Chains A and B, each alone.
Chain A
Amino acid sequence: MSAHDLPDRETMECDVVIVGAGPAGLAAAIRLKQIDPALSIIVLEKGSEVGAHILSGAVVDPTGINQLLPGWLQDESHPLRTPVTDDHFCYLTAKKAYNISQKLFPNLLSNEGNYVVSLGLVCRWLAKKAEALGVDIFPGFAVTEVLFGKHNEVIGVATGDMGVKKDGKPGRNFIRGIELKAKYVLVGEGARGSLTKKLIGHYQLNQNCAPQKYGLGIKELWEIDPKYHKAGSVTHSVGWPLNYQTGGGGFIYHMQSNLVSVGFVTHLDYKNPYLSPFHEFQRFKAHPAWRNLFKGAKRICYGARTISEGGWQSVPKLTFPGGALIGCAAGFVNLPRLKGSHNAVLSGMNTAKYIAQALAAGRSHDEVVEIEDSWRSSAIGQDLYPVRNVKPLLSKLGSTIGLPLSYIELWCQSVLKFSIFGTLKHSKPDCESLQPASKHRRIRYPKPDDDITFDILSSVFLTNTHYEDDQPCHLKVKSLEVQDQSERAVFAGPSTRYCPAGVYEWVEQDGRDTYIINAQNCIHCKTCDIKDPNGNIDWECPQGGDGPNYANM
């Protein structure tokens, strides 16, 4: 059905519309209201509730929250209950874990003063603060369209239609999306946002920056035996199960109530199409150093999300006429610290400051260049600049050489404030690193033992993922021919391995290899959008409210 046959959309107006109720979006909303309580702020969130699509390790640097909500420690409802007590770093081989003392690391990697949190709970807390200030948050609404004015400026956004059937026609409960017109639009969709992708393309925001680089973080929440639990204990690992060619590492964070957050990040510029980040994570848990934590314990939740890792060099131009990118949508994760939410909060706050100034001066729909011009000299820039060469060193040289060099580089930056490498470039986007299957050998991953390690489908089960059944597939494959002739024939179907939710399958049907897309398993990690070797998959928003329902992740 063409757009002409559909009824017109209703319009709502406000001062600022924010896409995404993550740390950046909520921080921006709170800050805007703190500066000018009279502003009308609307936050739209595609998850069914705030936190439903939020997933992170996480060890949080409270610097952003300290500035946003001074005195938060006295707030009874705050969720930052677990200060970091021990910090371990180890290098793994298949059988051993070699601990490397914290004293050998530069200060910028220290976790002193940081907290182990559920980022989902932090967002829910921020959402309550925002609502108390009069921000309107609407979960269950996916923003699918940018609205442009006559001069190529952004004048608002539109939410998707709901109740559209698989064949694209309106179903019985069809309702039209809504247009939200605003003086400024802030986009905080997190890494590889779908609207962000459209805006970057439309305004060529990435013409002067390096390609963004990503990692796929997969995580589980476990309830373990108290005798192994130590609240505030933080462990990071590198090495096994990945080899020198692939970047990444694992983490184990102990939270309150015998809960442990365990996860693994695989850098998505890996070469071997037979690699399965899910299986690397599963076998990581079985390492002798900590398998006892998980043996006989209870796995509560599972989830995955990509992380923007490009850092300083990959941040696109933040501003466009009528709005800005904030948080991980821009890409402010500090890779060696494995933290990004602090910068997301700072990004939301700084952006809010300049937007509020612009609004007070009677401006609207213009480019608030102050946002773009200021970030590099701000706290965000000061956080990202010293670590800018770590990712390129790892990508170009592999971990055997890259890790030690990064170590030296970080010490140089920390003490001498200077790098012998200048600013290294990221060579290519992650999808181009994949090599043909003929150059690699299949990896034999161990079978799940249903005690410490599990299969993909029973993992997806724990994400509480739900989709309206009769809706168009939100994973758009541009050309099925290309999938068959390249993704399958040349690369041996990497999507069947990189997707942490078992969405993609190559199945023989009627004598032909058919690409099956189990869209109802999708947990919104965006890996397919990033890693398909031909950029042949576009991740678009499914119906608002659909997808995972993470609890405390």
Chain B
Amino acid sequence: MTTLLYADHNGQSLAPQTARALTAALKIDPCVDILICGNNIAAICDDAAKLAGVRKVLKAEADSLFHQLAEPVSQTIVSLAPQYDVIISAASANGKNIMPRVAAQLDVMQISDIVDVVSADTYKRPIYTGNAIATVQSLDDKKVITVRATAFLPAAVGGNAEIMAIKPAAIPAMAEFTGEDLIESDMPELTNAKTVIAGGRALGSSEQFTSVLMPLAKKLKAAIGASRAAVDAGYAPNDWQIGQTGKVIAPDLYIAIGISGAIQHVAGVKDSGFIVAINKDSEAPIMKIADVSLVGDLFTVVPELVKAL
């Protein structure tokens, strides 16, 4: 059995999800090749070759692959597919965009967003917005899979795989990349941010909301969110609201500061990788849901945390 892992990258470096998707891939099948598509990707291929457990790195370079558009990339993957039993990628924006195209061309069903590998053909995946987990078995000979990266630890570094150039499949152009807007700022967008810190009504005023949380957000390169109560009190703008009726987020790290964490709020963050709660009330609901809780006065704790980071 052999697996092809389509590796996501941003043109400069491998996406952090790739190492995690590799862990999932290795659980299914120990023989994994990585495919990198793009232009000027030598350095990225080198990084991929260093991941432990990789057999080969396939380098597909072409102008048409520059922005990893779904049409040419899926064509390239399909051209390699006869050699592989499993084709897998992280469920990143690129992975989600490209992989179903591959599955349809191979006439197989895709299993999206797996969070666990039960066996070579059976996986667990979230359904109903993560409110249920389905254990699904694939009856197809070839499997096409995307992986929820936060559910797996990153593979170790220490490999030395061979890098092989391959010829990308050619297709007539039907889509053209015309621009992008990648947020370079230290304050990422709330729903995409890897780290989110959020404040509650306890912050007491909109001035304190920003003066206390901004320094921490800057240090962590985090987005700032707010509980409904804080937004209703006028301490934070509406589009900072996180929760059942606000934004539903799943960052790698979520820090709730002065938020009691009633279930309506927790519903908006339950899929976060790691949850930290800072609150002076040890009985607040969030203190029993978080992975780590710190009982303390946020006005002392947060500045201390900023200093220590």
Contact = CB atoms under 8 A, between A and B. Distances in A.
Interface of A: 455, 457-458, 460-461, 466-467, 469-470, 507, 509-510, 516, 518, 520
B252 to A, nearest CB: 26
Contact of B238 (A466, A469, A509): A469
Contact of B264 (A461, A469, A507): A461
B263 A458 contact: yes
B232 A457 contact: no
Contacts of B205: 510
A467 B263 contact: no
Contact of A461 (B232, B233, B263): B263
Given A457-B262, A469-B238, A518 B232 contact: yes
Nearest to B246: A469
Given A469-B238, A509-B233, A457 B263 contact: yes
Contacts of A467: 245
Contact of B245 (A510, A516, A520): A520
Contacts of A458: 262-263, 285
A461 B228 CA distance: 14
Interface of B: 201, 205, 228, 232-233, 238, 244-245, 262-264, 267, 285
Nearest to A510: B205
Contacts of B263: 457-458, 461
A173 B151 CA distance: 39
- Residue with the greatest number of chain B CB neighbours at <10 A, chosen from A461, A467, A510: A461
A469 B233 contact: no
Interface centre among B201, B262, B285 (most CB of A within 10 A): B262
Nearest to B235: A509
Given A466-B245, A469-B245, A457 B238 contact: no
A516 B232 contact: yes
A454 to B, nearest CB: 10
Contacts of A516: 232-233
Contacts of B244: 461
A461 B267 contact: yes
A458 B284 CA distance: 13
Nearest to A466: B245
Given A469-B238, A510-B205, A520-B245, 20 more contacts: A455-B262, A455-B285, A457-B262, A457-B263, A457-B264, A458-B262, A458-B263, A458-B285, A461-B244, A461-B262, A461-B263, A461-B264, A461-B267, A466-B245, A467-B245, A470-B238, A507-B201, A509-B233, A516-B233, A520-B228
A300 to B, nearest CB: 14
Contacts of B264: 457, 460-461
A255 to B, nearest CB: 24
B200 to A, nearest CB: 12
A549 B174 CA distance: 46
Nearest to A508: B204
Nearest to B201: A507
Contacts of A507: 201
A457 B263 CA distance: 7
Contacts of B228: 520
Contacts of A509: 233
A71 B159 CA distance: 77
A457 B238 CA distance: 21
8 contacts: A457-B263, A458-B263, A460-B264, A461-B263, A461-B267, A466-B245, A469-B245, A518-B232
Contacts of A470: 238
A520 B228 CA distance: 10
A467 B262 CA distance: 17
A516 B238 CA distance: 17
A518 B230 CA distance: 12
A548 B232 CA distance: 20
Nearest to B241: A469
A463 to B, nearest CB: 11
A509 B232 CA distance: 12
Nearest to A460: B264
B230 to A, nearest CB: 12
Contacts of B245: 466-467, 469, 520
A457 B259 CA distance: 14
B229 to A, nearest CB: 8
B261 to A, nearest CB: 10
Q: Top 5 nearest A-B pairs by Cβ distance?
A: A457-B262, A461-B263, A458-B263, A461-B264, A457-B263
A458 B267 CA distance: 11
Among A507, A509, A518, the most chain B Cβ lie within 10 Å of the Cβ of A509
Contacts of B262: 455, 457-458, 461
A473 to B, nearest CB: 10
Contacts of A518: 232
Nearest to A519: B232
Nearest to A516: B232
B80 to A, nearest CB: 47
A516 B233 CA distance: 9
Contacts of A466: 245
B248 to A, nearest CB: 14
Nearest to A456: B262
A521 to B, nearest CB: 9
B7 to A, nearest CB: 40
A518 B238 CA distance: 15
B97 to A, nearest CB: 29
A197 B259 CA distance: 39
Nearest to A166: B238
Contacts of A510: 205
Nearest to A518: B232
B219 to A, nearest CB: 29
Contacts of A460: 264
A457 B245 CA distance: 14
Contacts of B233: 509, 516
A507 B285 CA distance: 19
Contacts of B285: 455, 457-458
Contacts of A461: 244, 262-264, 267
Contacts of B201: 507
A507 B205 CA distance: 13
A461 B285 CA distance: 14
A216 to B, nearest CB: 22
A222 to B, nearest CB: 18
A518 B232 CA distance: 9
A516 B234 CA distance: 12
A75 to B, nearest CB: 32
B195 to A, nearest CB: 26
A395 to B, nearest CB: 36
A165 to B, nearest CB: 11
A516 B230 CA distance: 12
A467 B232 CA distance: 14
B247 to A, nearest CB: 12
B289 to A, nearest CB: 11
A519 B163 CA distance: 61
A92 B36 CA distance: 72
Interface centre among B228, B244, B263 (most CB of A within 10 A): B263
Contacts of A457: 262-264, 285
A195 to B, nearest CB: 27
A375 B201 CA distance: 53
Nearest to A468: B245
B281 to A, nearest CB: 13
Contacts of B238: 469-470
A460 B263 CA distance: 9
Max count, chain A CB within 10 A of own CB: residue among B228, B238, B264:
B264
A507 B230 CA distance: 13
A533 B264 CA distance: 30
Contacts of B232: 516, 518
A509 B201 CA distance: 10
